[in-house]
Amino acid sequence: MEKYFDVSYIWSSLPILLPFLKVTFMVAGLSIIFGTFLGLILAVMKLGKNKIAQKTAHFYTTILRCTPSIVLLFLVYYGVPALADNFGLYLHDLNTAVFVVITFTLQFAAIMSEVIRSAFDSIEKGQFEAAVSVGLSPFQAYRRIIFPQALVVALPNFGNGLIALLQEGSLAYTIGLIDIVGKANLIIAANYNTHALEIFIALAIVYWVISILIEKFFGKLEKVFSKGKQTINTN
């Protein structure tokens, strides 16, 4: 009789699971790139003077932050092809990964817009005033004085958003994406739903290692970018 819980399953499943990290990373990476870009546009809308743009950006952020990832995934998976039908485009057979990237791009953009906006708002107005007073154009002031300081403020929150994206991304298998979680579920199904615990422990280990690595990486980045923030040596 096989044991109910067999520790060796944890280690033996890892080589089967790890190759599928490629899919997880590719989907996450694309979502981060597109999401940051869209988030930047939204942040600019929020920081500008146009009231309509501001309201639109805030509305978008609220909707997306209030929708659970799994709901958003299905909305996109069924909704985008349905919408495309109205325009005569047939999108029902698109690779699932495309829908996953769309979903998490939209979600990450909402988070990023707040990270970027709050980072810029945290820089006191006097920095901008001093910059234009010495003769910099507003654009030069933003690029050379405000942006570098805002980047340092945004970095920890960006790292958090990154880790959160990876966690939310674990739900992508629900619409059929075979990333590392998807493969895990396939293995479990193939084993007639036995040894699920060991497989999920293996998944947990993988996610822990990745998250810790990301944390350490961003910790180092923060140190590099904080060169202007050393405190006075009072001794």
Partner 1 sequence: MLKINDIHKSFGNNEILKGVDLSIDKGDVVVILGPSGSGKTTLLRCINFLEKADSGQAGFGDLKVNLHGASKRDIHTIRQKTAFVFQNYNLFNNKTALENVTEGLIVGRRVPKADAIGIGKKALDKVGLSDKYDSYPSQLSGGQQQRVGIARAVALNPDIILFDEPTSALDPELVGEVLTVMKNIAKEGTTMLVVTHEMSFAKDVANRVIFMDGGVVVEEGSPHDIFVSPKEERTKKFLKRVLPEDYTFYI
Sites of contact with partner 1 (CB under 8 A): 126-127, 129-137, 140, 144-145, 148-149, 152, 227-233
Minimal distance, residue 151 CB to partner 1, in Å = 9
**What is the C-alpha separation between 48 and 132, in angstroms, rounded?**
18
Q: Given the complex with partner 1, which of 153 and 206 has the nearer CB atom?
A: 153
The separation between the first and the last C-alpha atoms of the chain, rounded to the nearest angstrom, is: 71
> What angle is formed at CA 34 by the lines to CA 117 and CA 118, rounded to 5 degrees?
10
Q: Given the complex with partner 1, which of 19 and 138 has the nearer CB atom?
A: 138
Question: Counting beta carbons within 10 angstroms of the beta carbon of residue 186, is it exposed (0 to 12), middle (13 to 18) or buried (19 or more)?
Answer: middle
The set of residues, in sequence order, having a beta carbon less than 8 Å from that of 146 and lying 6+ positions away, is: 120, 123, 127, 128, 131
Q: Given the complex with partner 1, which of 141 and 162 has the nearer CB atom?
A: 141
Minimal distance, residue 149 CB to partner 1, in Å = 5
Minimal distance, residue 227 CB to partner 1, in Å = 8
Minimal distance, residue 147 CB to partner 1, in Å = 10
Tokens of residue 106, six digits: 């939209």
Q: Given the complex with partner 1, which of 81 and 156 has the nearer CB atom?
A: 156
